[in-house]
């Protein structure tokens, strides 16, 4: 069988390069998509190889753009074996500062883009294909001032779990990586005081994507796979029982 072909949407984002490196490094063939032409050209210079790793400027949150991406993958590589949907957006702010436009944007970036991309690839997929999405523990435990982001990711997770039942009948695996904040240079610049023990490196996330896009994950349909590093929610109520020790 020829090497599998994956559509990597949101390839211009922070998590994409290690994913491209890992999947490309094991011989998978990749079509990378994004809206940022300059960034895609840079990725092509660094990772591109005709017939193995190619790029396409398109917006997969638009059904036509998504259809083009899926069709181009098949036209260029002769087949399509899955989708790694790295598209997403982030916005924080208290409710009274969030207009409905902010909610619509979060839903488009984090949820509807997954719908359009998945609807576009599905007609090309066969038994053993893989769909991988990305969420956050905030979807289950929404913290203040993150209502739009948390609600959009919660919608994504519920949707993936539902469609996973539909596509598993065709032997297709749809799973979600539930990840804590990625340890990236921009995050280190923005939040120098933060405890980076609670983050994970993009390389560790990429390894889980490697697993979910391999036969090692044949038993998983509709799973939410936590990649949380040493992340934990803390509370004033946490700590040792009364009379026992001090802080760890």
Ligand X SMILES: NC(=O)c1ccc[n+]([C@@H]2O[C@H](COP(=O)([O-])OP(=O)(O)OC[C@H]3O[C@@H](n4cnc5c(N)ncnc54)[C@H](OP(=O)(O)O)[C@@H]3O)[C@@H](O)[C@H]2O)c1
Stretch that binds ligand X, among 46-54, 80-88, 91-99, 219-227 (CB under 6 A): 80-88
Q: Does residue 68 contact residue 58 with C-beta atoms inside 8 Å?
A: yes
Question: Least Å distance between CB 9 and ligand X?
Answer: 7
Question: Least Å distance between CB 177 and ligand X?
Answer: 7
Stretch that binds ligand X, among 10-18, 46-54, 157-165, 239-247 (CB under 6 A): 10-18
User: Cα dist. 56→39, 43, 44, 87, 133 in Å?
Assistant: 11, 11, 10, 15, 20
Q: Does residue 10 contact residue 87 with C-beta atoms inside 8 Å?
A: yes
The angle, 0 to 180 degrees and rounded to 10, between the axes of the packed helices 16-25 and 202-212 is 50
* Residue 79 vs 91, nearer CB to ligand X: 91
* Contacts with ligand X, 18-37, as mask; x by CB under 6 A: ----------------xxx-
* Contacts with ligand X, 186-215, as mask; x by CB under 6 A: ------------------------------
Among candidate residues 134, 114, 130, the one with its CA nearest the CA of residue 213:
130
Number of residues that bind ligand X (CB under 6 A): 26
Distance CA 85, CA 8 (A): 6
Among candidate residues 237, 239, 197, the one with its CA nearest the CA of residue 247:
239
Q: Binding ligand X by CB under 6 A: which of 28, 54, 81, 109?
A: 109
Q: Read off the tokens for 168.
A: 């598993």
Q: Is 4 among the residues that bind ligand X (CB under 6 A)?
A: no
Q: Does residue 9 contact residue 33 with C-beta atoms inside 8 Å?
A: yes
Q: Binding ligand X by CB under 6 A: which of 134, 146, 151, 206?
A: 134
Q: Binding ligand X by CB under 6 A: which of 28, 54, 59, 81?
A: 59
Q: Is 58 among the residues that bind ligand X (CB under 6 A)?
A: no
Stretch that binds ligand X, among 54-62, 71-79, 93-101, 208-216 (CB under 6 A): 54-62
Stretch that binds ligand X, among 13-21, 24-32, 140-148, 235-243 (CB under 6 A): 13-21
Distance CA 213, CA 92 (A): 31
Distance CA 162, CA 9 (A): 21
Give Cα 84 to chain centroid, integer Å: 7
Interface contacts to ligand X, rule CB under 6 A? 10, 12-16, 34-36, 39, 59-61, 86-89, 108-110, 113, 134, 136, 179, 181-182
């Amino acid at each position: 069988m020829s090497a599998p072909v994956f559509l990597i949407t949101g390839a211009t984002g922070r998590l994409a390069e290690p994913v491209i490196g890992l999947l490309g490094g094991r011989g998978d063939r990749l079509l990378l998509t994004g809206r940022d032409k300059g960034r895609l050209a840079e990725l092509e210079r660094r990772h591109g190889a005709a017939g193995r790793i190619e790029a396409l400027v398109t917006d997969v949150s638009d059904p036509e753009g998504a259809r083009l991406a899926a069709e181009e993958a098949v036209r260029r590589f002769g087949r399509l074996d899955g989708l790694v949907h790295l598209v997403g957006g982030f916005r924080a702010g208290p409710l009274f500062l969030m207009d409905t436009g902010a909610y619509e944007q979060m839903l488009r970036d984090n949820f509807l883009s997954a719908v359009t991309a998945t609807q576009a690839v599905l007609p090309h997929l066969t038994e053993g294909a893989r769909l991988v999405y990305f969420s956050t523990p905030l979807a289950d435990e929404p913290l203040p001032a993150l209502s739009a982001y948390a609600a959009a990711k919660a919608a994504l997770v519920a949707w993936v779990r539902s469609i996973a039942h539909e596509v598993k009948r065709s032997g297709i695996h749809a799973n979600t990586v539930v990840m804590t904040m990625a340890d990236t240079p921009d995050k280190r610049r923005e939040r120098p005081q933060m405890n980076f023990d609670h983050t994970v490196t993009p390389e560790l996330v990429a390894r889980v994507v490697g697993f979910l896009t391999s036969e090692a994950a044949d038993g998983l349909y509709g799973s939410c796979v936590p990649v949380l590093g040493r992340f934990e929610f803390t509370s004033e109520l946490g700590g040792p029982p009364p009379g026992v020790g001090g802080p760890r």
